[in-house]
């Protein structure tokens, strides 16, 4: 390789495959990081410190049909003290709600949803709205709807940090970015076709 070719390769270093360093190195690693965070929450029920997110509430409750996402709704349930004692006033809402003695945990259980772990996946919209976006030479992870931002705030107030990456997830992310940078740098300087290496 001539000195001129070597110089040209150094000059092209930050042009790389797409002309976009973040797209070629940071963004693929960020997509993997986000997938890892979602898997940890949904499948393992773990928080950002690596511990269990928590436990579902077993406080008795009434749930309406609209609160069910997978069926299992059966109207009726526990009568009020007034109804039992006086035998009157059949409350109209009795046919519109279902009494759940074990609370939110039972609401999930009767629908066949997981209750062994808290995985913050009920309708699925919260985790679906947790996405990545590249802006210039940065990649951000965040929620795409205002409702999801509010849900996150409430959930983390109750359970603590959940959506931030764990130290291990950060390490894997940094290692992948560094590996991509080193490979592209090495191949670019050597004059190797970096497109084939990335794709």
For the chain, give every domain's residue range: 1-53+119-199, 55-117
Contacts of 168 (CB under 8 A, 6+ apart): 50
pLDDT by residue for the chain (199 residues), tens only, comes to 565 564 455 445 544 455 677 888 899 999 999 999 999 999 999 999 999 999 999 999 999 999 999 888 998 766 544 454 445 444 545 568 999 999 999 999 999 999 999 999 999 999 999 999 999 888 999 999 999 999 999 999 999 999 999 999 999 999 999 998 888 777 767 666 555 444 4
* Residue of 91, 95, 123 whose CA lies nearest to 107: 123
- Asked whether 16 and 24 are in contact (CB, 8 A), the reply is yes
Residue 51, exposed/middle/buried by CB under 10 A (0-12, 13-18, 19+)? Answer: exposed
Q: Extract the runs of DSSP E, i.e. beta strands, from the chain.
A: 61-64, 97-100, 130-135, 138-143
Token pair 């693929």: residue: 28
Contacts of 37 (CB under 8 A, 6+ apart): 130, 141, 163, 165, 169
Using alpha carbons only, how large is the chain's radius of gyration in Å? Answer: 26
Q: Where are the alpha helices (DSSP H) in 87-124?
A: 103-109
- Find the helix or strand (DSSP H, E) in which 39 lies: helix 27-39
| CA–CA separation, 190 and 28 (whole Å) | 23
| CA–CA separation, 67 and 73 (whole Å) | 9
pTM above 0.85, yes or no: no
């Amino acid at each position: 390789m001539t000195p001129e070719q070597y110089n040209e390769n150094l000059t092209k270093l930050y042009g790389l495959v797409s002309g976009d360093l973040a797209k070629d190195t940071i963004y693929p690693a960020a997509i993997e990081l986000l997938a890892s965070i979602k898997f940890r929450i949904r499948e393992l029920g773990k928080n950002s410190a690596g511990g269990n997110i928590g436990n579902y509430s077993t406080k008795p409750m009434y749930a309406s049909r609209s609160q069910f996402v997978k069926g299992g709704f059966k109207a009726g349930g526990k009568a009020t003290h007034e109804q039992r004692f006086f035998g009157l006033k059949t409350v109209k809402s009795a046919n519109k709600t279902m009494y759940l003695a074990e609370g939110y945990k039972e609401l999930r259980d009767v629908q066949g949803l997981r209750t062994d772990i808290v995985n913050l996946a009920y309708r699925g919209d919260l985790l679906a709205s947790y996405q990545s976006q590249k802006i210039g030479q940065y990649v951000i992870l965040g929620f795409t709807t205002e409702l999801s931002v509010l849900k996150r705030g409430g959930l983390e107030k109750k359970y603590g940090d959940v959506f931030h990456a764990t130290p291990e997830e950060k390490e894997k992310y940094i290692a992948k970015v560094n590996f991509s940078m080193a490979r592209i740098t090495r191949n670019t300087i050597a004059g190797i076709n970096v497109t084939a290496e990335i794709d």
